Amino acid sequence: MAPDCEVDGAVAAPISTVGIRGKLTHDAPLAKLVWFKSGGNADWLFEPADLDDLVLFLERLDGSLPVMALGLGSNLIVRDGGVPGVVIKLGKAFAKIEVLEDNVLVCGAGAHGILVASTARDAGIAGMEFMRGIPGTVGGFVRMNGGAYGREVSDVLVDCDVILPDGSLVTLPAVDLQYTYRHSVLPEGAVVVGARFKGVPGDPAVIGAEMDRIAEAREASQPLRTKTGGSTFKNPPGKKAWELVDAAGCRGLQMGGAQVSEKHTNFLINMGHATSADIEGLGEEVKRRVYANSGVELEWEIQRVGRP
């Protein structure tokens, strides 16, 4: 018989943990799990053993606490006051990828974009190369309509498996997500657990060359070796966010321990010991200066969660 849930922290769990096999941690530090390396703790962090374990956990929770899924933590500011409710961290059990007929990949929500792209390459499936250029996991891509280099998830998604806040597991066709730029209508608290992507037949050598081109373009233009969070602001229609930020004189602008990247002005950087308030405050100041300079209201692309 499998062991019951391991509960870290001298506090009663919010639900009965009998039969739950994952790990539940009270007051769990999140800074180490996000790219910015800043922010507070989760009230609870749950790392499910597998899909059945996660379904059981969310059924028992039954919407009584807020739920947030955490992928690679690349597109995220966790505020300094921490995250209320339960943060779900999907591990290796959710990172599997299977190749089906008709150029379809079945991907767990915890699979990294680079793994999706390389699996598709090895199978001679084109159309997924852009995922090589997005730091994140399938779950985040599906929720946010992740994209890069002229392509986005809505171009290749067939459907996705989602656990709704009441614990019910449903499969939603791509059309139901009503994708727009970096947005879907998935409800708060819904956890993406898997997705099916469909590409087209391709030559692995050509696919690999395109992936290499994307990797080199990222390396050349983005501050990859820093504590950053990816693209900060959405590109306004017909414009590029980084150009607006640059034109407003924000390149290198600092607030506390946070800085606008000198290398790519749509990236914010934790220079060492920035608080999340430093990073978010810097972003808001950039927005203010861009609006004053160009009249364009930038929208955050990075998700900001938790208590200030």
Q: Would you name the residues annotated as active-site residues? A: 182, 231, 301
Q: Are 272 and 257 in contact (CB under 8 A)?
A: yes
Distance, in Å, from the CA atom of 48 to the CA atom of 55, rounded to the nearest integer, reads 9
**CA-CA distances (angstroms) from residue 209 to 18, 203, 212, 213, 266?**
50, 10, 5, 6, 26
Task: Extract the tokens encoding 71.
Answer: 């992928």
Q: Which helix (H) or strand (E) holds 85?
A: strand 83-89
Distance, in Å, from the CA atom of 85 to the CA atom of 80, rounded to the nearest integer, reads 15
Task: Extract the tokens encoding 261.
Answer: 């990247």
Where do runs of H (alpha helix) occur along 85-192?
Answer: 113-122, 138-144
DSSP letter for each residue of 180-191: BTTB--PPTT-E
Going by their DSSP bridges, the two strands 76-78 and 303-305 should be labelled as parallel
**CA-CA distances (angstroms) from residue 285 to 138, 257, 259, 288, 303?**
31, 14, 11, 5, 17
